[in-house]
């Protein structure tokens, strides 16, 4: 699947996964350059990144979905609207990868396609050496093989806590929809200006800017 910048002014990056795997932490590391060690349950947050004048006229929406609460109608809508999906699991929790498998099947079913752009993210590499056990290494290898070989999806192992390969996740998501741009290094200087969009009950959404190259 590819997204035409000319025909669509918005590309939506949808983060999904079980509770506590680090979806919000990955997004906050990119936008704010910070890590909050205490887990906070997310209902849903939407972040907007807009190009500055003379840049690509494209808005990127980053959708942080809930792993703790069950909102089937909201989840179905986000899948329908999503252009590329980040399926996050914890490398220290086998059951969280099983949730990734379930979510992928749901996405394919709702989209009615087999080539939906997906990047699987194994988060919490900072929990090594716990993963240096034979079972931990086997899980990581199986996850990578499943994502890349069986599903033809992207696969990145990250640590939101250590800010390890976080930006690579977002660059891989954009590559999966064939967008001719990368997140600019200037984003590093602008993270503090990115804010979650107001809830839908408010009449208008306030948008913040970032730089794309």
- At residue 208's C-alpha, the angle toward residues 158 and 89, to 5°, is 20
**What fold characterizes domain 13-42+53-193?**
Rossmann fold (3.40.50)
So what's the pLDDT on residue 94?
Answer: 83
* Residue 44: per-residue pLDDT: 79
Residues with pLDDT less than 50, the chain: 2, 4-7, 54, 185-186, 188-190, 192, 198-213
Give the Cα separation of 172 and 45 in Å (integer): 21
Q: What is the pLDDT of residues 119-168, one digit of tens each?
A: 999 999 888 655 555 666 778 899 999 999 999 999 999 999 999 999 99
User: In the chain, what are the domain boundaries?
Assistant: 13-42+53-193
- Predicted confidence at residue 131, as pLDDT, reads 54
């Amino acid at each position: 699947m590819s997204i035409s910048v000319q025909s669509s002014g918005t590309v939506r990056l949808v983060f999904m996964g079980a509770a506590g795997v680090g979806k919000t932490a990955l997004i906050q590391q990119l936008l704010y350059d910070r890590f909050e060690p205490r887990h906070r349950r997310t209902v849903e947050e939407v972040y907007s990144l807009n190009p500055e004048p003379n840049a690509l006229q494209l808005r990127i929406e980053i959708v942080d979905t809930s792993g703790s609460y069950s909102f089937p109608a909201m989840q179905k809508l986000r899948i329908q609207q999503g252009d590329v999906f980040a399926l996050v699991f914890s490398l220290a929790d086998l059951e969280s990868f099983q949730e990734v498998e379930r979510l992928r099947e749901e996405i394919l079913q709702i989209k009615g396609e087999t080539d939906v752009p997906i990047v699987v993210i194994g988060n919490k590499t900072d929990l090594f050496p716990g993963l240096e056990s034979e079972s931990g290494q086997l899980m990581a290898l199986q996850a990578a093989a499943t994502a890349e070989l069986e599903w033809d999806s992207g696969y990145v192992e990250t640590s939101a806590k250590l800010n390890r390969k976080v930006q690579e996740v977002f660059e891989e998501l954009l590559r999966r929809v064939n967008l001719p741009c990368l997140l600019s290094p200037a984003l590093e200087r602008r993270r503090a200006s990115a804010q979650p969009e107001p809830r839908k009950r408010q009449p208008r959404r306030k948008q913040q800017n970032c730089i794309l190259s």
